[in-house]
Amino acid sequence: MGKRGAIYLPSKIRSKLGIREGDKALIKVEDNKIVIEFIPDPFSMALKVRKWAETTVEEFERESEEEQDALY
C-alpha cells in the first residue's frame, strides 16, 4: 500500500492478466473485500479477437447505404 492509498500489483499478476499502465478498472467492495475488475479497451480488444469476416470500406459504405435506403 502506498502513501496515498495506492495499491501496487506485482508484475507477475499484471503480466498474467495482461494489465498495462493506463488500463481502466472498476473497483468495488463486496462482502468486506476489494474487487478490482479491469475494463478492456475496445480498440485493443478488437485487435486481439480472431477475425471472422473481411470487408472493404467500399463494401461497408454500399451495404450501409442499402440499409438506409431500405429503412427510409
Q: Is the pTM of this model over 0.95?
A: no
Q: Residue 39's closest CA among 27, 55, 50, 31?
A: 27
| pLDDT score of 27 | 94
**Rounded Cα gap, residues 20 and 57, in angstroms:** 32
Work out whether the CA dihedral 15, 18, 23, 24 comes out positive or negative: negative
User: Cell numbers of 52, please?
Assistant: 471472422
25-28 LR contacts (CB < 8 Å, sep 24+):
none
Digitized pLDDT (tens) for each residue of the chain, 72 residues in all: 888 998 889 999 999 988 888 889 999 999 999 999 988 777 777 777 788 888 899 999 999 999 999 988
| pLDDT score of 1 | 84
